[in-house]
Every structure is written in structure tokens, then in C-alpha cells.
């Protein structure tokens, strides 16, 4: 099933994983996939950081999920470290394996200098190549507060609009306030782009996570930090975690009420927080609570 078709049919809910690097991580991910499969996600996506070993792990996980037949999968692809012919081969291999959903990303600059060289300058070139190779449903990344390497937000929006005109949908970096998503969608609309933009959700479940979130690209707003600190005073780490999950659930409610086409959860390969947010939203029957 193509993700663009799923989005056209109605609201989606999706989960993102990274490929395991060890037997222990494989066991954890297997349990997570089992738990989240019970929530009937529209699709799941698998990240990829670059390099032959990481690429193979992503390919193996995505094709295993696709072969199992219970979940729709999407493979991440990045520009960094790839030539055009190599990427064409990767795309062709995915098609042969029955994988038709891909996420076209620029990619972070890796520590390994051998991976920096690339024949792609921007993710839009990867979108163009995927269009040339076959009938893929293509997603791209969107940054509500602007890409870290963009000179300003206006420039970021112009480049995103150009990229999204060729792609089918976007998935955002995680964020914490409704206005971040609505402003992004409105600004794209002003540029004539109305493709679906899925909001990315990642709850803050520890006070130490506040700093980590900022380092990953999305600062936690002062109001949420204050809320988490208040929970810590009352009940310690367990209360902080519960408050973080509750705040994420409230954001999801606001997004759905504002017309978001679905919700995309960054799971970090753990199911607990995602399942708790899902329970807040939908209850045990999988139907959104009134």
C-alpha cells in the first residue's frame, strides 16, 4: 500500500524506528514492533544514517516488515555519501523487494569523512531520482522552525515548497506547540503547496531529555519545562514522565482538531510512551475519544 493513498483515504498514525545494531537491540525492537502492531498503524518507517552496514540493516528491516505482510513500511534514504548510480541501484532493489514507500532526506554530515562525498547537493535531487526510477510514494522532511542549515525561515519554506511539489507528503521534525505546525502549513499554503504535512511527535519524559531535545533540533518551550519541573517536585521522575506523556497527548489532540492529516510518532524503538499517548487519544477500542 502506498502512503499517499493512505493519506488520501483518511487520518493516519505511524511509528518510526531505527535498525538495531546488536542482538540486544534486535530483541527490544522485536518486542516494540509486536506491541505497536496491535495499534494498527497506517505505516512504519525505518531510519538510515549512512554507510554500507547501516544501509543493509535498514534494507533488511524494511523488507522483513514488508515480507511479513502485517505492516506497511517506508525506507529512509539519504543523500550524504552516495553517488547517483549507487542510489539508483538501492531504489531498484527496494522496488524488487516490493517496497514502494521511501523518505528522501539530505542526511546529517557524519563523523566518518569517507561518507561525506556525495553526488547529491539537496534532497530534492533524490526525490527526482526516485521519480525517475519507479512508482514510489515519496516523503520528505519538514522543519517547523526551519532547517538548521537554512539562512532564514523564508528561504527554508521556499526550498521545502519546491521539494514538496515533487514529493507526495512531508513528515516534520518533532515540536511541542500547535502553532509550529499550523504556521508551517499556512506558509506552505501561501506558496501554493497543500500536500499533507504529518506532524512528528516525541514526548519529553525526563528532565534530562529537555537538553537532549534542544541538541536534536527542537527546543522545549519554557511553559513545558515549568510543567515538568512542577511534576518533579510533586512526584519525582515517574510524575515527570506521566506529565510529559500527557502534554504530548494534548498536543496530538490539538493537531487533530486543527486538521492534521495524521500523527507520526518517533518511538526510539520503545513502545511504552507511544502506547500511552495512543491510549489517551483513542482508548482501548482504537477510536478517538470524544
Asked if 20 and 28 count as a contact pair (C-beta separation under 8 A), the reply is yes
Number of domains present in the structure of the chain: 1
Mean pLDDT, rounded, for 61-88:
89
Take residue 144 and report the three cell numbers written for it: 517547523
Report yes or no on 285 lying in a domain: no
Looking at the DSSP assignment, which residues form a beta bridge with residue 102? 75, 138
pLDDT in tens, 33-71: 989 999 999 999 999 866 677 778 889 999 999 888 889
Report yes or no on 83 lying in a domain: yes
Asked if 123 and 79 count as a contact pair (C-beta separation under 8 A), the reply is yes
Report yes or no on 182 lying in a domain: yes
Residue 143 has what pLDDT?
95
Q: How far apart are the C-alpha atoms of 145 and 140, rounded to whole Å? A: 16
Report yes or no on 288 lying in a domain: no
Q: How far apart are the C-alpha atoms of 103 and 140, rounded to whole Å? A: 6
DSSP secondary structure letter of residue 264? E
On the 0-12 / 13-18 / 19+ scale of CB atoms within 10 A, 154 is: exposed
Mean pLDDT, rounded, for 85-91:
92
Looking at the DSSP assignment, which residues form a beta bridge with residue 77? 104
Q: Which residues contact 144 (CB under 8 A, 6 or more apart)?
A: 172, 173, 175, 180, 181, 183, 184, 218
Residue 214 has what pLDDT?
82
* CATH number for position 144: 3.20.20.220
Report yes or no on 128 lying in a domain: yes
Q: Which residue has the higher pLDDT, 107 or 8?
A: 8
Report yes or no on 106 lying in a domain: yes
* Confidence check: pLDDT of 108 > 90: no
pLDDT band at 285 (very low <50, low <70, confident <90, very high): low
Report yes or no on 289 lying in a domain: no
This prediction's pTM? 0.93
Report yes or no on 232 lying in a domain: yes
pLDDT in tens, 243-277: 999 999 999 999 999 999 999 999 989 889 999 99
Q: Which residues contact 155 (CB under 8 A, 6 or more apart)?
A: none
Which are the catalytic amino acids?
16
* Confidence check: pLDDT of 111 > 80: no
Q: Residue 200 sits in which domain range?
A: 3-280
* Confidence check: pLDDT of 168 > 70: yes
Q: How far apart are the C-alpha atoms of 49 and 247, rounded to whole Å? A: 29
Per-residue CA distances from 279 to 33, 41, 237 (Å): 17, 13, 21
Amino acid at each position: 500500500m502506498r502512503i499517499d493513498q493512505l493519506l488520501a483515504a483518511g487520518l493516519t498514525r505511524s511509528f518510526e524506528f531505527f535498525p538495531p545494531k546488536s542482538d540486544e537491540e534486535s530483541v527490544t525492537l522485536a518486542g516494540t514492533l509486536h506491541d505497536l502492531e496491535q495499534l494498527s498503524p497506517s505505516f512504519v518507517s525505518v531510519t538510515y544514517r549512512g554507510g554500507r552496514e547501516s544501509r543493509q540493516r535498514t534494507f533488511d528491516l524494511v523488507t522483513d516488515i514488508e515480507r511479513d505482510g502485517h505492516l506497511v513500511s517506508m525506507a529512509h534514504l539519504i543523500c550524504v555519501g552516495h553517488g547517483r548510480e549507487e542510489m539508483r541501484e538501492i531504489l531498484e532493489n527496494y522496488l524488487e523487494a516490493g517496497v514502494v514507500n521511501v523518505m528522501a532526506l539530505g542526511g546529517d554530515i557524519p563523523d566518518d569523512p569517507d561518507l561525506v562525498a556525495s553526488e547529491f547537493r539537496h534532497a530534492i535531487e533524490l526525490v527526482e531520482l526516485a521519480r525517475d526510477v519507479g512508482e514510489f510514494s515519496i516523503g520528505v522532511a519538514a522543519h517547523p522552525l526551519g532547517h538548521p542549515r537554512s539562512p532564514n525561515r523564508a528561504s527554508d519554506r521556499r526550498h521545502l515548497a519546491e521539494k514538496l511539489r515533487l514529493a507526495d507528503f512531508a513528515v516534520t521534525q518533532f515540536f511541542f506547540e500547535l502553532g509550529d505546525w499550523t504556521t508551517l502549513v499556512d506558509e506552505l499554503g501561501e506558496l501554493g503547496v497543500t500536500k499533507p504535512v504529518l506532524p512528528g511527535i516525541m514526548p519529553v519524559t525526563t528532565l534530562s531529555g529537555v537538553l537532549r531535545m534542544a541538541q536534536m533540533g527542537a527546543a522545549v518551550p519554557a511553559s513545558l519545562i515549568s510543567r515538568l519541573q512542577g511534576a518533579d517536585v510533586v512526584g519525582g521522575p515517574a510524575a515527570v514522565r506521566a506529565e510529559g506523556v500527557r502534554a504530548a497527548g494534548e498536543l496530538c489532540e490539538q493537531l487533530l482538531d486543527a486538521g492534521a492529516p495524521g500523527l507520526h510518532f518517533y518511538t526510539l524503538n520503545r513502545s511504552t510512551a507511544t502506547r500511552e499517548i495512543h491510549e489517551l487519544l483513542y482508548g482501548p477500542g482504537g477510536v478517538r475519544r470524544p
